[in-house]
Structure 1
Amino acid sequence: MEFRIISLPPFKAASSGIDKEFDFSSNGILGKFDKYFSEIKLSERDSFIPRDFLFFDEEGQGMVWWWALTEDMDDGNNEVVDFEGGYYITYVYKDGDEETNGKLYNRALEYIKNSDILELDIHKNHYAMGHIITPPEIIEAQGWAQMETFIPVKLKGDSII
């Protein structure tokens, strides 16, 4: 199987807020948020799990970026949201390769549709998300990054948490 099924714990996150312009430039909402969390110096304890998640907010019709906070991290005066956690089907592809991403996303949806135990779990602040998993120094050396996509699922019959 080319998918993993994982569990993400609940956490508090600094949020970029909704960016309907999809603006990653230094003056854009997403670009400013990227600068905020890229300047955070993580302790070794906090550096081994994904901390940032980018997703399309279906209700707000824009991109949102979250940074998972620890109790001692500065939120950068960003809005702080509560993430409920949950189960996710994940897959990896070369960042920017939207053709492969689309194929894998559709295969994952088909897998979920045909599953005897899983169903989609999409609702407010619980959408498909992406996270770059390649360390910055590797990205610089090889010139590209791997993106991991997270599709929210739940056990069939489970209600929203």
Structure 2
Amino acid sequence: MEFRIISLPPFKAASSGVDKEFNFSLNGILGKFDKYFSAIKLSDRDSFMPRDFLFFDEEKQGMVWWWALSEDMDNDGNEVVDFEGGYYITYVYKDGNEEANGKLYKQTLEYIKNSDILELDIRQNHYAMGHIITPSEIIKAQGWAQMETFIPVKLKANIN
């Protein structure tokens, strides 16, 4: 399996709120949130890292989408949440290929389970997340996108 271990910094994020309907239509919670952040014109300073993260909130049983804000970004009335940051194991697959995603997810969990230094770090607002990494112009030209999945991990307590 090919993956990487990264650190995401703490940040404030505009949140779609929980959508138990998984509604990406223009009138749905997630569709409206997509329209909000897709209209933001990023400065060069803000365009180098992923800013949107989609995840399933296990406690509230619905999808949530976050947009990482910088100091000068408008939250457009969306709830603002504080993300603590942390370590993540990531992998990439073709968006929509749930068979590949499921296989990679299981392999990643097995790797973490067998790790001498890492363990899962799933807790409130700290779940597995996804982010489309393909630029929109490339998606349009090739007709598909790559999704990067982020699985939260932490160092085991007995590791210094």
Structure 1 length-normalised TM: 0.97
Q: Give the Cα–Cα distance (whole angstroms) in 2 for the partners of residues 146 and 3 of structure 1.
A: 14
Query: Superposed, which structure 2 residues align to 1:1-161 within 5 Å?
Result: 1-157=1-157
Q: What fraction of aligned residue pairs are identical, expressed as a percent?
A: 86
Q: Aligned to 1:13, what secondary structure does the other structure show?
A: strand
Aligned residues: 158
Instruction: List gaps (5 residues or longer) in structure 2.
Output: none
After the TM superposition, which segments of 4 or more aligned residues of structure 1 sit over 2 Å from their partners?
none
Q: How far, CA to CA, are the matches of 2:39 and 2:157 in structure 1?
A: 42
Structure 1's unaligned 5+ residue stretches are: none
CA offsets 1:97-148 (integer angstroms, 9 cap, x no match): 0000000000000000000000000000000000000000000000000000
TM value normalised by structure 2: 0.98
Measure the CA separation in 2 of the matches of 1:130 and 1:3. Answer: 14
Letter in 2 for 1:121: D
Indicate the RMSD between aligned Cα atoms, in angstroms: 0.7
Residue 3 of structure 1, CA deviation: 1.1
Shift of 1:155: 0.0
Q: Which amino acid in 2 is paired with 1:62?
A: G
Partners of 1:44 and 1:148 in 2: CA distance: 22
Partner SS state of residue 125, structure 1: coil
What is the distance in 2 between the residues matched to 1:60 and 1:39? 28
